[in-house]
Amino acid sequence: MTARILWDTHGHLQDPAFDEDRDAAYQRADAAGVGVIIPGYTLASSAVAVALAHQWPGAWAQVGVHPHEVADLPADWLLQLRAWARDSRVVAIGEIGLDYYRHLAPASTQRAVFEAQLALARSETLPVAVHCREAWDDTVAAIRAVPGVQGVLHCFTGDREQARAVLDLGFYLSFAGPVTFKGADALREVVRWAPRDRVLVETDAPYMAPVPHRGRRNEPRWVEDTAVRVVSEQGISRAAGFSTLVTNSMQAFARLTRRDAN
């Protein structure tokens, strides 16, 4: 297996944006030494994430239901997630959380489904990958209500106060393409402040491609551009910074260490 110089801890390779070159996009990442964790956002996309994780040696899966998708779940939805959670290629419950920006599902339904998935993660001893948009207080309250659950705030774009709250919960901060954007000085200040052992990087592909690819479809191999900016802001060498990011990824997602993930 290719030696990993980085992990893209959140890349949606099952997204329709990759229908024409999905395998090639994975192979480009693998050739560059980038492993990828593929998060689910619906039951169907979770199933595909698991299948791809079994197909590609450098890919792993998360399973979960995104807050935009919680309105019409089947009665057995949680049983399906529990079954996938026990698959050896599944490293987390995600992408889950709350989103009060678009309101594609009632807030009460979002909270109920989020809380159920947090409880599932704790019962299966898995971390969570959390989406939060304009729902900060409720997100933090939900996590606090499930003591012992661990995980990652994916695509973190908050301020230092919010970062501290996440870190105090034992979570990691995952930074994506926005940290490279011209107007992201406040976010880069958080990167400089954050403990180096609690930082991850991701693409959130196919969205938010980092500079110099902004405006194009994002893909996992470009996590390197985000990582370069992160370690530069941290004031450490590329080699040392990348090594720390790999170590952090494997600590945040413990199942990565149970096989030869390097």
Q: Is 252 helix (H, G, I), strand (E, B) or coil?
A: helix
Average the pLDDT over 174-178 and give the result: 98
Give all domains of the chain, ordered by start, each with its CATH number.
Answer: 6-257 (3.20.20.140)
Q: Given this model, what pLDDT does residue 102 score?
A: 86
The per-residue pLDDT for range 7-27, each reduced to its tens digit, is 999 999 999 999 999 999 999
In contact, 205 and 11? CB cutoff 8 Å: yes
Mind listing the pLDDT tens digit for each residue in 109-139?
999 999 999 999 999 999 999 999 999 999 9
Cα-Cα-Cα-Cα dihedral of 184, 142, 38, 190, to 10°? Answer: 20
State the average pLDDT over residues 175-204: 98
Task: Kindly tell me if the per-residue pLDDT of 257 is higher than 90.
Answer: no
What is the H or E stretch that residue 68 is in?
none
Reduced DSSP (H G I as helix, E B as strand, rest coil) percent helix, strand, coil of the chain, to 5: 45, 15, 40
pTM of the model: 0.96
Report pLDDT for 60: 98
Out of 1-5, 19-23, 155-159, 238-242, which region has the weakest mean confidence (pLDDT)?
Answer: 1-5
β partners of residue 153: 130, 173
Tell me the pLDDT tens digit for each residue of 31-70. 999 999 999 999 999 999 999 999 999 999 999 999 999 9
